[in-house]
Amino acid sequence: MENQVTDKSGSLFQKALSLVPGGVHSPVRSFKGLHTTPRFIQSAKGAYVQDVDQKQYIDFCMSFGPLILGHRYPEVEAKLQEALQRGWSYGACEPYSLELADFIISRIPFIDQIRFVNSGTEAVMTAVRLARGYTGRHKIIKFNGCYHGHLDSMLIKAGSGLAGTAEASSKGVPPGTAQDTLIVELNNLAELSQCFNEHPGQIAAIIIEPLPANNGLLVQDLSFLKELRKLCDQNQSLLIFDEVISGFRVEFGGMATHTGINPDLVTYGKIIGGGLPVGAVAGRKEIMQFLAPVGPVYQAGTLSANPLAMVGGLATLQCLTPEFYSKLESYSESVVSIFNSWLKTQDQFKNLQILRKGSLFWIVPTDQKIKNIKEIPADLAKRFYDLFKALLDKGIYLAPNAYEIGFISIAHDEKVQNDLKDRLFK
């Protein structure tokens, strides 16, 4: 079973390895450390993906979050097909992005203006530049374990030297860049206040995933999130909520409306495009007006607000009613309780359990609430690897990494839940 190669996926991966670095276009897809080759997916529908060897899986990766409606939701597919007939890129003003902008702005009270880009990374890159341009300051506070895309200034981890030092987490990021990102532990107010005290008048912004979900699911105390807003106000720094995962997921207005905390800027991605490449930065008008062409902070994009992607995003967001979210919550509760009851019956896995926040879940070997990365059990990856393989064999597809979370969609309905039970317990 070690290094098991499924027929067609295995040979496609061999080919991919010669054509593409590591065989993948994004590292997590490579199944690194999982001792099996990636499955090549050829098609999908609802809660299921099918690989090139014709094996079907119940999908809990869901493209890492965008597919809150599942694969090929009929309304979205129909609108996309219509849009395709009209053309798919103009590099000019078009009405479709306005419909999406209007839909979002009219529903999320703290947003006056929005700009669409092509990915979450681009959204964060723009938000960080905008915060610096608006405040005239350089330093950004980032939390250890939060992921904000692959821009240089966010590929920074806590330094191995003195407390408060930071270094690049990737080769190719210059030390000068690392120096302007300050790393603080999640859920640690004392460290955060100290950071402001040590850099008076220099902090442009705090950026945080208000529901950190890229290094496991590290649910923060509400009091901690509220303190961020207070500290930013006291220091004339901006608060950036990176809601690329949590936006339109925990509820339509993401963690901002969920907690009642208004960030100055918010970044979106994933669900906002419904599975097409869309990101966005949004916020108060006086800040957004700093963007080119009206303001001095440059930002642009040949394919930004791509009409096909705008239509896919709008069709997706239009389905996200209050009834939708209560249904999703009940499906999520059922799915997680099925997984948990199965885990208990398995000698090998009975110490694992699922932490859930709405339709997001994380499998961990502890029942403690984990709030920062120092509390994550060290043997997590090893234990995940066995579970991942067992589930994959049963036709259940998790995101292929212990630190990635699972995503439940509205396609994971009663029928799929029954199928999940069959696949687990048979």
Ligand X SMILES: *Cc1c(COP(=O)(O)O)cnc(C)c1O
Q: Which residue number has the CB closest to ligand X?
A: 120
Residue whose pair of structure tokens reads 């099925």 in the numeric block: 338
Interacting residue with ligand X among 37, 121, 135, 153 (CB under 6 A) = 121
Sign of CA dihedral 75, 78, 82, 83: positive
Query: Which H or E run contains 312?
Result: helix 307-317
| Residue 274 binds ligand X, judged by CB under 6 A | no
Number of residues that bind ligand X (CB under 6 A): 14
Radius of gyration, alpha carbons of the chain: 21
C-beta closer to ligand X: residue 269 or 400: 269
C-beta closer to ligand X: residue 191 or 242: 242
| Residue 148 binds ligand X, judged by CB under 6 A | yes
C-beta closer to ligand X: residue 120 or 406: 120
Decide: helix, strand or coil at residue 65. coil
Three-state secondary structure along 250-282? Answer: CECCHHHHHHCCCCCEEEECHHHHECECCEEEE
Interacting residue with ligand X among 59, 191, 242, 404 (CB under 6 A) = 242
The three-point CA angle 117-120-125 to 5° equals 75
| Residue 149 binds ligand X, judged by CB under 6 A | yes
C-beta closer to ligand X: residue 253 or 279: 279
Residues 285-304 that bind ligand X (CB under 6 A): none
C-beta closer to ligand X: residue 195 or 281: 281
Tally the C-alpha atoms within 13 A of residue 329's C-alpha that lie toward its C-beta.
Answer: 11
| Residue 63 binds ligand X, judged by CB under 6 A | no
Nearest approach, Cβ of residue 131 and ligand X (Å): 15
Nearest approach, Cβ of residue 65 and ligand X (Å): 7
Q: Concatenate the DSSP letters of all residues of 191-218 into one string.
A: HHHHHHHHSTTTEEEEEE-SS--SSS--
Just list the catalytic residues.
147, 242, 270
Residues 181-210 that bind ligand X (CB under 6 A): 209
| Residue 168 binds ligand X, judged by CB under 6 A | no
Select the span of 146-154, 287-295, 297-305, 326-334 touching ligand X (CB under 6 A): 146-154
| Residue 9 binds ligand X, judged by CB under 6 A | no
C-beta closer to ligand X: residue 153 or 214: 214
Instruction: List C-alpha distances in Å: 366 to 216, 354, 400.
Output: 13, 9, 20
| Residue 120 binds ligand X, judged by CB under 6 A | yes
Long-range contacts of 91-100 (CB under 8 A, 24+ apart): 91/302, 94/305, 94/307, 94/310, 96/305, 96/307, 96/310, 96/311, 96/314, 97/305, 97/307, 97/310, 99/310, 99/314, 100/310, 100/313, 100/314, 100/317
Give the residues lining the site for ligand X (CB under 6 A).
119-121, 124, 147-149, 209, 214, 242, 244-245, 269, 279
